[in-house]
A and B are shown apart, each in its own frame.
Chain A
């Protein structure tokens, strides 16, 4: 088969929505068919965008690493530990623990609040990418 996987998923979604779903008489099962079609459409979009999203995330993360390393130099050990975790990866998920520590440190502390403000545009960009699939 030469079709890309995302196209196959999209076609499956269309078949379920247009041909299979309407032929089902039971309301619950018909709703399930419709939902299956919605999910397959989203997975298809996800597959389509996966590479571009991963590269964009990696670029954002690399830039943020440099900024945070400078800003958080000399921060308390718990923050430093979470920062080190983040520095070892090329994705945003480790920012979860870092943000928790930064909030614990206190956003009234200027370094902590500056770090949160540096992180937020990266999170905005990430959620915008996810919204391309979700909506």
Chain B
């Protein structure tokens, strides 16, 4: 049997808790019926649950909302680097923009109300095939041939980089100064996650970090950066991006950070299509036209090394959560050997 952490909860209990919570939040004349409660994305991040809420309002009109609940059980991969309060605020800010994103409804930071800190947002129609699975790769290959999704996928990234982040209030994320500050902040963030993991590390990591600090590029134009923009982190409906998901790594920073993630070989398996769906030439021309930002491939190569450090930090954090008995999931223990793979790649990128 799976050992349950204190934040874990049965579907029936959660259904009851959500129903009672929504009765207070919605103008319901009677009980709120919660149905179809299903946990998805059984990953290492925050829990994600989908459900429908039905109720009668005070005019006796039948109402329905399709909703998504994210809960933080306190043992997720990114630890304090990601939190629901920030996600909630980001989604609220994005409601005023062109970025396809779900509407955020409620945030509960205490662990009593919904059993763990949680946010409730709109459930947007669409599917999210995994690019790491055979059926997912088949889906993206077919969509690429129809030529609609590739454009929509690029356009959604452009919409993120075109956001007027100051006017919509996203400066709460922290604004680096122009120059090397953005790159150095990212290095410091992942260094801090590594420190939290209590992992002994490896000299290649010290070499990589030393190189990253010495070669930090200058950032002049700051945009909203998603931080993990790839297929698998967007919802797709009728070959178009209906929502950009996973707002856990966003920063105000260098747009090339996202572009580098688009260009990396790590996000495509057995295909030349970026993120398994976009022809490279289409991406380069459409992105530059839609954003007016020139792609700097040298800077992208730098950020790909920064991603090698970030990957190592993720796996160290994951392995650390298991080693520190904060999470009993054996998939986390397995990542001990993923650290080696990330560092081997870093050594290659550094030229040895």
Contact = CB atoms under 8 A, between A and B. Distances in A.
B200 A93 contact: yes
Interface string B306-345: 0000000000000000000000011101100110110110
B89 to A, nearest CB: 32
A121 B42 CA distance: 40
B210 A133 contact: no
Contact of B329 (A32, A98, A103, A130): A32
A39 B334 contact: yes
B7 interface: no
Nearest to A104: B210
Contacts of A100: 206, 209-210
Nearest to A36: B330
Nearest to B333: A39
Contact of B340 (A31, A38, A121, A130): A130
A32 to B, nearest CB: 5
B109 interface: no
B206 A38 contact: no
A89 B200 CA distance: 16
A123 B337 CA distance: 16
A54 interface: no
B286 to A, nearest CB: 37
Given A130-B340, A134-B341, A123 B330 contact: no
Nearest to B331: A35
A26 B1 CA distance: 9
A55 interface: no
Contacts of A97: 206
Interface of A is mostly: helix
B205 A133 contact: no
A42 interface: yes
Interface residues of B, number: 30
B349 to A, nearest CB: 12
A29 B205 CA distance: 34
B3 to A, nearest CB: 10
Contacts of A130: 340, 344
B196 to A, nearest CB: 17
A24 B214 CA distance: 52
Nearest to A103: B210
Interface residues of A, number: 37
A95 to B, nearest CB: 4
Contacts of A31: 331
Contacts of B42: 28
Interface string A122-135: 01101110110111
A35 B330 CA distance: 6
A88 B6 CA distance: 46
Contact of A127 (B1, B213, B340): B340
A123 B200 CA distance: 15
A23 to B, nearest CB: 15
A79 interface: no
B330 A29 contact: no
Contact of A99 (B1, B203, B334, B340): B203
A124 B347 CA distance: 7
Given A29-B1, A123-B347, A133 B337 contact: yes
Contacts of A47: none
Contacts of A116: 207
Given A32-B2, A36-B330, A123-B203, A134 B210 contact: no
B210 A123 contact: no
Interface in A28-58: 28-29, 31-32, 35-36, 38-39, 42
Given A29-B1, A97-B206, 4 more contacts: A35-B330, A107-B211, A119-B203, A134-B341
21 contacts: A28-B42, A29-B1, A31-B331, A35-B333, A36-B330, A39-B333, A96-B206, A97-B206, A100-B206, A103-B206, A103-B207, A103-B209, A104-B210, A124-B352, A126-B202, A127-B202, A127-B347, A130-B344, A131-B344, A134-B337, A135-B341
Going nearest first, the 3 A-B pairs with the smallest beta carbon separation are A103-B210, A35-B330, A95-B203
